[in-house]
Chains A and B, each alone.
Chain A
């Protein structure tokens, strides 16, 4: 049976149609506060996740992701439908929105001050982001930092945090009240589970925030926590590298990024435990107030 759901993620309306009941339920659980009733209207992205009509419907069943009827990716095993929706929606946004600079980074906020945490895979940015959110910070985004070229404000997309492998157990243990999707094994990124945004994050989902700091996290097992100032040139290059449309935007991209870097404190943070790193981010925010 076909079911539809409209998600309002920041400025975007996403129309999801699916014949997979577990996906529908998963979306309803994770996005509960930003589901809207909307018919005969504008939608930024029309997305369909369907079981293929071929034999693969029955034998080792699969799921296809369709963006307005076209499949940008190969099908995945059926139980990966929910992560596939998340990855697919990231693809939709990062490939089709160039009015903003979009960087591969998590953004959290407290007291009107946002911190951008760019991260290569394995840097632990999602884990840190989840820990911060569950300690009372507002989550804006876990993957796509969306920067307005005019006022440099960051958009809140308020989508689930994508946790992988050991991070899942770590967060579950530290925050037993956290709400997770079903865990999916053997994906391209290993074991994956999606963490529902906090109520605070949902409540202020429409509000944009101003960045005061950019922190490049790096998880190093067993290491002592080290927060170091990063010179702005390096920060610029690293964030440019983590941006989806920096080069596409050309001179504009350079301009946005230099103004952003100029207005923020830049740090590198290596950490071995979650508690310590949360304390360091707290420090980053307080320090920025004293400036």
Chain B
């Protein structure tokens, strides 16, 4: 039984929880890195008083980790902001960093490790040079990996700060160059808005949703699938009150060539987390669906893989579903021949490393 999704979609349900239910919620929540968010959500709904002390200590502890991460992220963003200002390049934050800077609900209780930014492609080398002069370096020393990132991916090899150890992913697009879907990143950059805390920029509200959808359904390896789905849920709940929200979201997905990820996002947030999406919008978004049969297959895969990665949520097909989605994520990244070469290369390297051949 998936208690995490149950609580995320209907927090009031915790009032009926038995000690064994709390036990399972804490275990599933820990696996899906959502304990801190559950704490935030229960607090938002004034439900913390119904949480027994024994369960609360685990939720609160995770929230404390989040508070520390948020503090560090703010500091890093502040440092990067100064650096980018001197370069006259806007600091466009993505995902976790953007949610925090823009004070989105999706940033609340969210545990994450890396900071992601979007930089115009022509500015990448300038930005990279300046970062390396200011304490950032690339821990990835393998020539093949460097080439893999630079030629094929939508980001350069991650940089790490020498002292503070924080990792920075610098993207010039939101999906790989060699991938099945290509997005014009200039459109994203042009739509960026000044983040609430005025330290840097975030994608526009709709683009934040579309990027989150593209990342979850077309790029990620789903290791934090439910966390990312919950981000989408919170983004949609927060922004959809606005007038014309749905029309412009659908229109923007066409403009950015992201109808497919948006279709998945609306379908699965609605299905798993009960995210309020009007019937009509669900119908229209089907323009982005992969067809009836493929939708049936994807349901079988995603409904399993987007549950907490805990034995209590698995059925006999869960392992297979996760594996197939892992293969799919590579399939979407590059054309078949290139993928075969890439996997052969990686496999060979792993083999030589295991056997200590240099």
- List A residues at the B interface (Cβ < 8 Å): 11, 13, 40-44, 46, 68-69, 96-99, 245, 247-250, 252
Contacts and interface: CB of A to CB of B under 8 A. Distances in A.
B67 interface: yes
| Chain A contact surface mostly | loop
Interface string B33-74: 000000000000000000010110110111011011001000
A43 B23 CA distance: 6
A44 B58 contact: yes
A38 to B, nearest CB: 9
Q: Which 9 pairs from chain A and chain B are nearest by CB?
A: A98-B64, A98-B61, A42-B19, A42-B23, A41-B19, A99-B57, A248-B68, A40-B20, A42-B22
A98 B111 CA distance: 15
Given A41-B19, A42-B19, A43-B23, A69 B310 contact: yes
Contacts of A245: 64
B319 to A, nearest CB: 13
B311 interface: yes
B61 A44 contact: no
A99 B54 CA distance: 11
Contacts of A99: 57, 60-61, 64
Contacts of A40: 19-20
Contacts of A248: 64-65, 68
B30 interface: yes
Given A41-B20, A42-B23, A68-B27, 18 more contacts: A40-B20, A41-B19, A41-B23, A42-B22, A42-B55, A44-B54, A46-B27, A68-B31, A96-B30, A96-B61, A97-B61, A98-B62, A99-B60, A99-B61, A247-B68, A248-B64, A248-B68, A252-B64
A119 B58 CA distance: 27
A42 B54 contact: yes
B19 A98 contact: no
From A13, A42, A97, name the one whose CB has the most chain B CB atoms within 10 angstroms. A42
Contacts of B64: 98-99, 245, 248-249, 252
Contacts of B55: 42
A247 B55 CA distance: 24
Contacts of B57: 11, 44, 97, 99
Contacts of B30: 68, 96
A245 B68 CA distance: 10
A180 B137 CA distance: 51
Interface string B9-38: 000000000011011001100110000000
Contact of B20 (A42, A97, A249): A42
Contacts of A68: 27, 30-31, 310
Contacts of B62: 98
A11 B52 CA distance: 13
Interface in B260-285: none
A40 B20 CA distance: 6
B311 A69 contact: yes
Nearest to A67: B30
Nearest to A252: B64
Contacts of A69: 310-311
Contacts of B58: 44, 96
A245 B67 CA distance: 13
Interface string B96-140: 000000000000000000000000000000000000000000000
Contacts of A46: 27
23 contacts: A11-B54, A11-B57, A13-B54, A40-B19, A42-B19, A42-B22, A42-B55, A43-B23, A44-B57, A44-B58, A68-B30, A69-B311, A96-B30, A96-B61, A97-B61, A98-B64, A99-B61, A247-B68, A248-B64, A249-B64, A249-B68, A250-B67, A250-B71
Nearest to A70: B31
Nearest to B71: A250
Nearest to B24: A42
Contacts of A13: 54
A44 B22 CA distance: 10
A94 to B, nearest CB: 11
A161 B173 CA distance: 55
Nearest to B52: A42
Contacts of A252: 64
A125 B54 CA distance: 30
A251 to B, nearest CB: 9
Nearest to A39: B20
Contacts of B26: 42
Contacts of B61: 96-99
A41 B54 CA distance: 11
From A11, A99, A249, name the one whose CB has the most chain B CB atoms within 10 angstroms. A99
A11 B55 CA distance: 11
Contacts of B27: 46, 68
Given A69-B310, A69-B311, A250 B68 contact: yes
A89 B67 CA distance: 25
Nearest to B17: A42
A68 to B, nearest CB: 5
A103 to B, nearest CB: 16
A291 B200 CA distance: 55
A98 B23 contact: no
A13 B52 CA distance: 14
Contacts of A43: 23
A180 to B, nearest CB: 32
Nearest to B54: A42
A8 to B, nearest CB: 11
Contacts of A97: 57, 61
A188 to B, nearest CB: 24
Contacts of A11: 54, 57
A248 B310 CA distance: 27
Contacts of B67: 250
A13 B57 CA distance: 13
Contacts of A98: 60-62, 64-65
